[in-house]
Amino acid sequence: MSAPATIARVALDLPLPELFDYALHADSPICPGDWVIVPWGRSRRVGLVAALADSTTVPSDRLRLLEERLPGMPRMPADWLELIGFGSRYYHAGFGELALPAVPKLLRTVPGARSRGSPVLRARERFEASLPKPPEASEHTEGMRVLTPGQTEALRQIQSCDGHAVFLLHGITGSGKTEVYFRWLEGLLAREQAAQALVLVPEIALTPQFAQRIRERFPMLPLAILHSDMPDAERAAHWLAAAEGRARIVLGTRLAVLVPLPALVAVVVDEEHDASFKQQEGARYSARDLAIALAARRGLPIVLGSATPSLESWHAARRGRYRLVSLRERASGASLPLVQRMALRGARVQHGLTDPAIAAINETVARGEQALIFLNRRGYAPVLNCGACGWLSRCDQCDAYRVMHRVGAAAPVAAIPAPAPQRYRLVCHHCGADQPVPRSCPECGNVDLAGLGRGTQRLEEGLQSLFPSARIGRLDRDVARRRGAAQQMLDAAHAGEVDLLVGTQMLAKGHDFRRLTLVVVVDADAALFAADFRAPERLFATLMQVAGRAGRHHAASRVLIQTRFPEHPVFVALAAHDFDRFAADQLTEREQASLPPFVHQALLTVQARSADDTIAFLADARDRLLSADTEPPIPDAVLAALTVCDPVPMPLAQMRGLARAQMLIESASRPALHAALGPWLAALHAQRHATRWQLVVDPLEI
């Protein structure tokens, strides 16, 4: 056998960081970016050629021959391979770990004997067939509008740039950020025949309405939609249309940032502050940050939009790295709602609502307007309790309580004097454990068990008894689980068939209810005391967003925040609608405490049978880092720039029966942090330790 002329370094869909070397025939046409079929054990797998090489460390008797190109799949472009390379270095993830999950599985399966025709070909046809016919103009369409002076000025600033720039579009709720994106994209897409635009949204739930607005506004441009909750064949069709340049606008959640777009000219990241842009499993990338890297590498402009920018982005804008563009007025001309704080201490409360809140809801419904009652806690009650012995419904697998959930529809509280146990279940929100509510206390046998506290289901029942003639619609993840139920509820709300909307932050994001003039925040105090230093930032963003649902089209609207701490700076800033002040205060605190964005962080997390094992693993890893017991050794100057914190149990110290712990590594210098992480992680990988560990760069939850 003649020696192979070249080696292909192939990424496979395996949770291993390395590439796998295969031999190529001397005259092989295989290039980096090609999808190929390779032998793997006794089976065959589809992989992606990340690079070619002249030599390999694999002994020649074990080196196997790459079989062939995967029929029909387009070659991934060089700039895409470079972006994946950058991402895998930045997040210290395997090339394949980042590259492969981004491509629909259907397109990267070994063609079997049983399958008829190429899945790639079928996906191509499918997208063409899915394109809607251009709609006839109707009065409801997202037609051309006269821009407000603020929008005109924002657009002028964004359009003034040629080449790469990051714009932070800070616009208050209802300021018409979407219209600014659309105008900007319209200009760019018209300039070039085949130009493509990428629009990222944080959540799957936000894609249908955004897609609708895009279709109405750009009826002639093929739109590809990408998120993880699409049927495989549909996702494959849309992915291929995007990758082959047939889709002109690509709208998606975080995974859409990893689609190769040959003719990309502009990127929009809506709600850029949203933590959902951070991937929660596998390679922990931030889609927002990768979108910025993508735009930078390709010399393109990118717009990050938010009413409450992340403090990272805000800081970058303050320092001039990003360009700040502001919209300070609502597009409809309506004023911002009046935000009032309602003291819970010493107040009379019925079903979680204070008297002024009840009065405000009554008045709103009487005027034929809508009210949104916000409680960011789904289920019936956060915990079940025995009044006799104090037993609480702890999950035996997790460091958390199982949440009491009602099965079936709400019944008015008065109608069920003694709630039948079979109407409720206990569900763990972390491991999914789901059991019937016990008939009696497992500890003492007492039959008098009761839910403590209140979730959205219980709130809904309370509202029914307080406002018997009001039409109530609830929306949370439990409702949304039934296919179509969320949309049905939103449609009813938009059609004016709902008087009171009750729900979690699912109701807060993106919706534009025309008749909504009152928002009541039932209880947001728990978030004030979370250990995570980002908790106030997140609470402020959530409440600003939910408050922003009020009065988008009416002159007068109100937001009532019920709290035990009316003087807390988060609520004071909300009442003043003063994001700038809130952000400035937070940044001062962060700087004094040496927290991000003033330092850069990486978090090593670990899961093991016992808490001792987790801490021991981390302590060992820490020693290894501090003693520079790595190959190559970490230079002293790099180590001196690091702070390596002690290993500690994670906030949720046990999940699914496994103990969890974490260790934080920080540095004011990003290069130093990365210079240390590389060799250190290589050393940890080389141990082939049985313990499951994971590194998160720029963690959002600590």
Residue ranges binding ligand ADP (CB under 6 A): 145-148, 151, 171, 173-179, 331-332, 512, 552
The 7-46 contact track toward Zn ion, x by CB under 5 A, reads ----------------------------------------
Give the integer Cα–Cα distance in Å for 365 and 371. 7
Of Zn ion, ligand ADP, none, which one does residue 389 interact with (CB within 5 to 8 Å by kind)? Zn ion
Binders in 384-413 for Zn ion, by CB under 5 A: 386, 388-389, 391, 395, 397-398
Selection from Zn ion, ligand ADP, none that 296 binds (CB < 5 to 8 A by kind) is none
Phi, psi of 263, deg, nearest 5: -120, 35
The reply to whether 465 sits near Zn ion by the rule CB under 5 A is no
**Element housing 449 (H / E):** strand 449-452
Evaluate whether 47 touches 20 at the Cβ level (below 8 Å).
yes
What's the rounded Cα separation, in Å, for the pair 355 and 290? Answer: 48
Shortest distance in whole angstroms from residue 152 CB to ligand ADP: 9
**Which C-beta is closer to ligand ADP: that of 329 or that of 537?**
329
Neighbours of 257 (CB within 10 A): 29
Stated as kind and residue range, the H or E segment containing 373 is: strand 370-374
Structure tokens at 96: 């394949």
Minimum CB distance to ligand ADP smaller for 311 or for 547: 547
**According to the 3-state scheme, what is the secondary structure of 179-202?**
HHHHHHHHHHHHHCCCCEEEEECC
Q: Which is nearer to ligand ADP, 271 or 537 (CB)?
A: 271
Gyration radius of the chain over CA positions = 27
Angle at 282 between CA 280 and CA 286, to 5 degrees: 50
Report phi then psi at 303, rounded to 5. Answer: -115, 125
The partner in contact with residue 386, picked from ligand ADP, Zn ion, none with C-beta cut-offs of 5 to 8 angstroms by kind, is: Zn ion
What string of H, E and C letters represents the secondary structure of 346-394? CCCEECCEEHHHHHHHHHHHHCCCEEEEECCCCCCECEEEECCCCCECE
Of 422, 446, 588, 687, the residue at the interface with Zn ion (CB under 5 A) is 446
Backbone angles phi, psi at 168, to 5 degrees: -105, 110
Given the complex with Zn ion, which of 253 and 654 has the nearer CB atom?
654
CB of 55 to ligand ADP, least distance (A): 54
Query: Around Cβ 204, how many Cβ atoms within 10 Å?
Result: 16
Beta bridge partners of 55: none
Comparing CB distances to ligand ADP, the nearer of 328 and 609 is 328
Smallest separation, CB 395 to Zn ion (Å) = 3
In one-letter notation, the amino acid at residue 369 is E
Q: Given the complex with Zn ion, which of 316 and 449 has the nearer CB atom? A: 449
DSSP secondary structure, 386-440, as one string: ETTT--B-B-SSSSSBPEEEE-SS---GGG-SS--GGGEEEE-TTT--EEEPPSS
For ligand ADP, give the closer residue by CB, 474 or 552.
552
The entry of Zn ion, ligand ADP, none that residue 388 binds, CB within 5 to 8 Å by partner kind: Zn ion
Nearest approach in angstroms of CB 314 to ligand ADP is 17
What's the N-to-C CA distance of the chain in angstroms?
Answer: 56
Q: Which does 148 bind (CB under 5 to 8 A by kind): ligand ADP, Zn ion, none?
A: ligand ADP
**DSSP secondary structure letter of residue 687:** T
Residue 444: name its binding partner from Zn ion, ligand ADP, none (Cβ under 5 to 8 Å by kind): Zn ion
Residue whose C-alpha is closest to residue 10's, from 43, 40, 51: 51
* Residue 173 touches which of ligand ADP, Zn ion, none (Cβ within 5-8 Å per kind): ligand ADP
* Residue 667 contact among ligand ADP, Zn ion, none, beta carbon within 5 to 8 Å by kind: none
Min dist CB 404 to Zn ion, Å, is: 14
The residue (of 448 and 497) whose beta carbon lies closer to Zn ion is 448
Question: Which of ligand ADP, Zn ion, none does residue 669 bind to, with CB < 5 to 8 Å depending on kind?
Answer: none
By beta-carbon proximity to ligand ADP, the closer residue of 171 and 352 is 171
Binding-site ranges for Zn ion (CB under 5 A): 386, 388-389, 391, 395, 397-398, 428, 430-431, 433, 441, 443-444, 446
